[in-house]
Amino acid sequence: MRSLDETLSVLQDELHSVEAQLSEPDVASDLKRLRDLSRRHKELSEINVAWNDLKSAQGDLATAKEMFSETEGADRESWRDEVNTAEARVAELEQELETLLLPHDPNEGRNVILEIRGAEGGEEANLFASDLSEMYRRYAALRGWKVEVIEERASDQGGLDEAIYLIKGDDAWSRLAFEAGVHRVQRVPVTEAKGRVHTSSATVSVLPEAEELDVDINPSDLKIDVYRSSGPVDKVSTPRTRRFALRTCPRAWWFRCKTRRVSFKIAPRR
């Protein structure tokens, strides 16, 4: 079994190898390999920095202990404080390094698909889902993450039947993964005329963004369904009212979009 120093030495060699691979010209054209190498480089760099900091702190501790044993009087008490400070720093860095060496979640560092849906409670559940949506979007802004709206379906009274977001951030998965589940609230809803407390819930799903995949689809297998909203629509707003569903038959591939930007890309191919 390798010692800690031997393990860290091997990881340092791997860091040098990853850095060499990142400098190769052909890596820039392979996005998947570039992404994987960049993630591994980030992990190894953090471990290497923590290791170097720990070795420096251990050296400071050894120096402080030596000076403490060789001095007397007031200087001795000063070096005692230095020893205590160095010991606390070493313990802190050892804990940090142990954490970095733990096995990583394979989804760590990936973007997140966040889905929010109203559940039990009728329209109040949809209003609660809207509150959750606003909460997560504000939290994403505080963390410096980028939020892209995949789909938002409003309810009759300003809530959300369903909301799906793509959240981009290095630590988005590690901070949001455990948000998945049923969220419950007890309050007097705006939909309640008599002031009674209601219990409502909303579901939150947190999924890692799927890796890009090349798929060979025969054009003859494609089937495109177009959905249009009812009611008066002028020519300017028509693209915003359409929804496209792209299916393959007989294969089980199905895509759907409602945004204006994607609709224009699909429409000419129909």
pLDDT in tens, 1-51: 667 778 888 898 999 999 999 888 888 888 888 888 888 898 899 999 999
| Long-range contacts, 177-181 (Cβ 8 Å, 24+) | 177/105, 177/107, 177/112, 177/206, 179/114, 179/136, 179/204, 179/206, 180/204, 180/205, 180/206
Q: Is the pLDDT assigned to residue 242 strictly greater than 60?
A: no
The per-residue pLDDT for 104 is 79
CA distance 99 to 102: 5
- How far is residue 100 from each of residues 46, 57, 173, 178, 193, measured CA to CA in Å? 8, 18, 17, 20, 54
The model's pLDDT over 91-130, given as tens digits with 9 standing for 90+, comes to 999 999 988 888 878 888 889 999 999 998 888 899 999 9
Instruction: Print the SS3 string covering 167-186.
Output: EECCCHHHHHHHHCEEEEEE
CA distance 28 to 40: 16
Q: Is the pTM above the cut of 0.85?
A: no
Amino acid identity for residue 35 in this structure: R
The model's pLDDT over 150-198, given as tens digits with 9 standing for 90+, comes to 989 988 888 899 999 999 998 899 999 999 999 999 888 776 767 788 8
